[in-house]
Chain A
């Protein structure tokens, strides 16, 4: 069992490594994608500078806290697409009947699908997120917590997307729907939770678990709470198992298009 897990982890990282090597075949395009994505994200700082010039405090969030929120959100979003980019293309694979190559691999099919793709621009999101998180919060404790939360936030973000894209097992032409639902997660993770009403905040802890990926981590980094840290870890384990369960359950509805290719 332990050896199996070790092998799967090794294969997972190898797949991501080869995805990145493939993307680096055109170095100019690779660097442009990464750098411009960082610049692209940085433009949003203007939005917050203007907002804070109008109102200096948004329910306890000041400019440093918003930078931390944006940083954690951007880093988890980026890392999830670098490490598990396949989760975000899953509905496309299912609709096109293109899952076959992953099903016949001598490894776990779910992990093979997740690690099948790396979104190169997401590396820019990740780097930008890490830098922005550390600008105002850089004590040793903050750095450790930021690393831990980025890792578990990545698991939550990739698992949530995987669940949304697994809808394609049940619904036809659901690619747009899955992307839209995935977008909800991203959109809400970019604003402080205080601006939303209580009913919506309840959703953030249930159906759209953005709170566990972003809001709780930000509150723990601002004011350490061991219980909240454990809750985030437990939730990430729960949602990753749920995503896996839903994928294999849905796979029973999958029909191949006999499209075979080598991977």
Chain B
């Protein structure tokens, strides 16, 4: 495990080195959130106080918490994996004394943790600016439990990203699949909480990656309930196991194909 921790530390320091570039991305993030909150402000401006259990402030904070979990995730591993497979340079990496997937997962976590902290701070500042106050009741212990779900959420997000990137073995270009997945999360997990959708859809979304990567942790931070925490953790662990197995199967099949072609 030590070698993966070293890769994680290297990725962490590299991201810190270029942290100032992230500052420019905050501009995009701010504008996106500003546009979205403007829509919600307009919707609530006719005197409506609560929509499906959400006040305007709750809605804004939900979007910010959920978007932090999503926006902060590192995008660089997907490009690197795709480039490895497309260019054929993966043959040099599979022979190294580390597992290819764990190598990229360590890079992903290192990069994402820095971004998570920075985007977390920016989101709180944006939230304070748009709502005037953070009125959530959460104890230190509950906050700690939230961070566990947040860490699992970004881990699942990373593994899904890696798994989709491995589609390059079959289709060469995996980016279109990444678009569809990211838009699915954006529409069903960030723009609206699951509660906003029709009842029949809520049931299915509850089993989807939306619940474990954005809705579950964000909803816990907004209104912590121990029952929900247990539900989120159980689903996250199931997802973690299934996605890990899936990524290993796709990787193994892909590498076999590499051997056939001689690398």
A→B interface (CB under 8 Å): 26, 28-29, 32-33, 35-37, 39-40, 43-44, 46-47, 50-51, 54-55, 58-59, 121, 173, 176-177, 179-181, 183-184, 187-188, 190-191, 194-196
Contact = CB atoms under 8 A, between A and B. Distances in A.
A55 B197 CA distance: 14
Interface in B178-237: 179-180, 183-184, 186-188, 191-192, 196-197
A55 B187 contact: no
Contacts of A32: 171, 173, 176
Given A179-B24, A187-B28, A195-B42, 19 more contacts: A26-B173, A29-B172, A29-B173, A33-B175, A40-B180, A46-B188, A47-B191, A50-B197, A55-B46, A176-B21, A176-B25, A177-B27, A179-B28, A180-B27, A180-B31, A183-B31, A191-B39, A195-B38, A195-B39
A148 to B, nearest CB: 27
Contacts of A40: 176, 179-180, 183
Contacts of B192: 47, 50
A37 B176 contact: yes
A184 B31 contact: yes
A194 B180 CA distance: 29
Nearest to A180: B27
A39 B182 CA distance: 12
Contacts of A51: 39, 43
B187 A173 contact: no
B41 A173 contact: no
B24 A58 contact: no
Contact of B24 (A36, A121, A177, A187): A177
B35 interface: yes
A191 B40 CA distance: 12
Contacts of B171: 28-29, 32
B49 interface: no
B6 interface: no
Interface of A is mostly: helix
A51 B187 CA distance: 11
Given A28-B172, A32-B173, A195-B42, A187 B187 contact: no
Contacts of A121: 175-176
Contacts of A39: 180
A195 B36 CA distance: 10
A183 B28 contact: yes
A35 B180 CA distance: 11
Of the listed residues B35, B176, B188, the one surrounded by the most CB atoms of chain A closer than 10 A to its CB is B176
Given A44-B187, A58-B42, A183-B31, A26 B172 contact: yes
Given A180-B24, A191-B35, A36 B42 contact: no
A190 to B, nearest CB: 8
Contacts, number: 91
Contacts of A179: 24, 28
B46 to A, nearest CB: 7
A196 B172 contact: no
B13 interface: no
Contacts of A173: 21
Nearest to B26: A180
A121 B179 CA distance: 11
B186 to A, nearest CB: 8
A183 B28 CA distance: 6
A187 B31 contact: yes
Contacts of B184: 43
Contacts of A177: 24, 27
B28 A180 contact: yes
Contacts of B35: 187-188, 190-191, 196
A121 B187 CA distance: 20
A171 to B, nearest CB: 11
Contacts of B134: none
B176 A36 contact: yes
Contacts of A187: 28, 31-32, 35
A180 B173 contact: no
Nearest to B170: A28
A43 B39 contact: no
A181 B172 contact: no
Nearest to A34: B176
Contacts of B175: 33, 121
25 contacts: A26-B172, A28-B172, A29-B172, A29-B173, A35-B176, A36-B180, A37-B179, A44-B187, A47-B187, A50-B196, A50-B197, A59-B42, A121-B175, A173-B21, A176-B21, A177-B24, A177-B27, A181-B27, A183-B28, A184-B27, A187-B35, A188-B35, A190-B35, A191-B38, A196-B35
B41 A195 contact: yes
B56 to A, nearest CB: 12
